[in-house]
């Protein structure tokens, strides 16, 4: 296992460009592929790219809020205290690796943005307290835990599929969470990942001279602006300052958010979508930060991690536009569907989703690109629509181990580059593929 991870680490160090450059290269590859493999010419491909460039702004906002609200919640004093106390359980580098992997995987099951940030912050805490730890590998472990996200409560495809008005509702209807997240096969896959991932990262762990020393400054606490602003012209805080530091105001807004969530679940059943997840984490975050200004400071700090995502999302939306409008995405998907039957369909749909993820690293984007082909084929073959939807979801989560797009927030917190961790992630891609294959084929 260690030899395999060393091989892929060396390969990635040599050939993997910056994630933004990676997105630009993928844009050109798909542009040329559309000309070669579809009947469309350069002018049409340019039109497809431009018409799709801004199509995912609403979804990008939702995803950014998932990240920001998750980060703000993870940086609250209570959650940070929990992270420190849990980190103290690790006495050796091996124990630290297992704790970070398992902790990140469990946190990503709750919320993917929360999990990414908690994993990175937890890795920093372990690195501070356990001598001999390889910092870059701990961050890799945090990102490896991201594999569980699409089987958890914030998985975008099952949430979008259950949300009225989603792009595939007319084709596949609404697919309740009881047919996707809360199923036996999802339980098997998720538990399998929770068991196997910590064991696998322990086997990959660098030791001795392989351990890479990291600049101690990277482990320093994030600098936060003071939560209270006191005006020097008066001995008493002004009305504005009192409102900025009002615990009552934060409590009231949090209760307002919880009240709506209770009403929503009471009238609609326990149907979580992206918006309800974001509201839940917003309400909890502002409650735990206690004052509006403290929460806003946390949000400001969290927003820094969205820089890479914000600049790359339009390019991936343009790629999605080319794949969708040129028909190239359908050709890729149909190539897998054409050789499948009722038994092999879920796994082959999973593989096709993994291929598409290189060009559209977004669960919601996958639903738009692959849903129109996967879902009707599943109905024709008699495959459960929930299984088909989750096959798309799993493929997206799986190939994230080779696509550095969603590693950007954790890397921003860690002060590392994609090449520092992706070799370990590619090794994880190979091993975890067996878990997904078994779950989709035999359960």
For residue range 336-381, list pLDDT tens digits in order.
888 888 899 999 999 999 988 888 777 766 777 788 888 888 988 8
- CA dist 273 and 156 (Å) reads 8
Residue 216, pLDDT > 80, answer no
Distances (CA, A) of 137 to 128, 287, 432: 14, 33, 18
Structure tokens at 220: 């320093």
Q: Is there a domain that residue 273 lies in?
A: yes
Q: How long a stretch of residues is the chain?
A: 443
The CA-based diameter of the chain, rounded to the nearest angstrom, is 77
Q: Is there a domain that residue 212 lies in?
A: yes
Q: Is there a domain that residue 200 lies in?
A: yes
Output DSSP code: residue 272: -
Residue 228, pLDDT > 70, answer no
Tens of pLDDT along 231-246? Answer: 445 568 888 888 999 9
Q: Which domain holds residue 111?
A: 1-223+238-442
- CA dist 330 and 219 (Å) reads 46
Residue 223, pLDDT > 70, answer no
Number of domains in the chain: 1
**What is the CB neighbour count within 10 angstroms for residue 191?**
14
pTM (predicted TM-score): 0.82
Question: Average of pLDDT values for 263-277?
Answer: 80
Question: Average of pLDDT values for 179-193?
Answer: 95
pLDDT > 90: percent of the chain: 44
Give the model's confidence band at 230: pLDDT under 50 very low, under 70 low, under 90 confident, else very high.
very low
Give the model's confidence band at 61: pLDDT under 50 very low, under 70 low, under 90 confident, else very high.
confident
Question: Average of pLDDT values for 43-57?
Answer: 91
Tens of pLDDT along 102-132? Answer: 999 999 998 887 788 888 889 988 988 888 8
SS3 125: helix
Find where tokens 């020097």 sit.
232
* pLDDT score of 106: 94
Burial class for 253, CB neighbours closer than 10 Å (0-12, 13-18, 19+): middle
Q: Is there a domain that residue 282 lies in?
A: yes
- CA dist 117 and 104 (Å) reads 9
Give the model's confidence band at 163: pLDDT under 50 very low, under 70 low, under 90 confident, else very high.
confident
* pLDDT score of 4: 87
Q: Is there a domain that residue 228 lies in?
A: no
Q: Is there a domain that residue 178 lies in?
A: yes
* pLDDT score of 232: 47
Q: Is there a domain that residue 233 lies in?
A: no
Average pLDDT, the chain: 86
Residue 7, pLDDT > 50, answer yes
**Alpha helices (runs of H) in 304-362, residue ranges in sequence order:** 307-326, 328-337, 345-357
Structure tokens at 348: 């082959």
Residue ranges of E strands in 137-264: none
Residue 271, pLDDT > 80, answer no
Residue 83, pLDDT > 50, answer yes
* pLDDT score of 11: 86
Q: Is there a domain that residue 258 lies in?
A: yes
CB 155 within 8 A of CB 363: yes
């Amino acid at each position: 296992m260690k030899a395999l991870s060393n091989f892929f680490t060396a390969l990635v160090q040599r050939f993997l460009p910056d994630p933004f450059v990676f997105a630009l290269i993928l844009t050109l590859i798909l542009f040329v592929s559309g000309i070669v493999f579809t009947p469309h010419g350069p002018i049409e491909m340019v039109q497809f790219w431009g018409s799709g460039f801004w199509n995912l702004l609403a979804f990008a906002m939702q995803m950014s809020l998932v990240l920001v609200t998750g980060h703000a919640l993870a940086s609250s004093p209570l959650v940070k205290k929990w992270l420190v106390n849990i980190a103290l359980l690790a006495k050796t580098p091996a124990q630290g690796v297992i704790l970070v992997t398992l902790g990140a995987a469990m946190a990503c099951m709750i919320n993917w943005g929360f999990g990414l940030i908690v994993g990175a912050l937890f890795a920093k805490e372990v690195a501070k307290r356990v001598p001999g730890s390889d910092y870059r590998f701990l961050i890799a472990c945090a990102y490896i835990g991201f594999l569980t996200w699409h089987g958890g409560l914030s998985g975008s495809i099952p949430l979008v599929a259950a949300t009225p008005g989603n792009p595939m509702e007319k084709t596949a209807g609404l697919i309740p969470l009881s047919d996707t997240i809360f199923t036996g096969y999802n339980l098997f896959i998720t538990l399998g990942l929770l068991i196997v991932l910590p064991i696998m990262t322990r086997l990959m762990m660098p030791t001795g001279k392989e351990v890479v020393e990291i600049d101690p400054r990277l482990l320093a606490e994030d600098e936060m602006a003071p939560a209270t602003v006191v005006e020097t012209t008066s001995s008493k805080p002004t009305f504005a300052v009192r409102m900025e530091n009002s615990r009552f105001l934060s409590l009231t807004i949090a209760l307002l958010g919880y009240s709506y969530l209770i009403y929503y679940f009471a009238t609609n059943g326990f149907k979580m979508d992206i918006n309800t997840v974001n509201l839940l984490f917003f309400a909890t975050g502002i409650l735990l930060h206690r004052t509006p200004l403290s929460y806003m400071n946390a949000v400001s700090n969290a927003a820094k991690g969205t820089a890479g995502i914000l600049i790359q999302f339009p390019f991936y939306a343009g790629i999605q536009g080319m794949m969708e409008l040129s028909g190239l995405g359908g050709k890729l998907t149909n190539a897998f569907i054409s050789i499948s039957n009722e038994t092999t369909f879920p796994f082959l749909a999973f593989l096709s989703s993994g291929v598409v993820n290189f060009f559209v690293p977004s669960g919601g984007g996958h639903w738009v690109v692959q849903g129109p082909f996967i879902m009707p084929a599943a109905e024709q073959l008699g495959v459960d629509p929930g299984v088909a939807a989750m096959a798309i979801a799993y493929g997206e989560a799986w190939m994230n181990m080779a696509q550095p797009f969603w590693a950007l927030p954790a890397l921003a917190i860690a002060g590392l580059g994609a090449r520092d961790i992706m070799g370990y992630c590619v090794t994880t891609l190979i091993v975890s593929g067996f878990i997904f294959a078994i779950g989709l084929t035999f359960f």
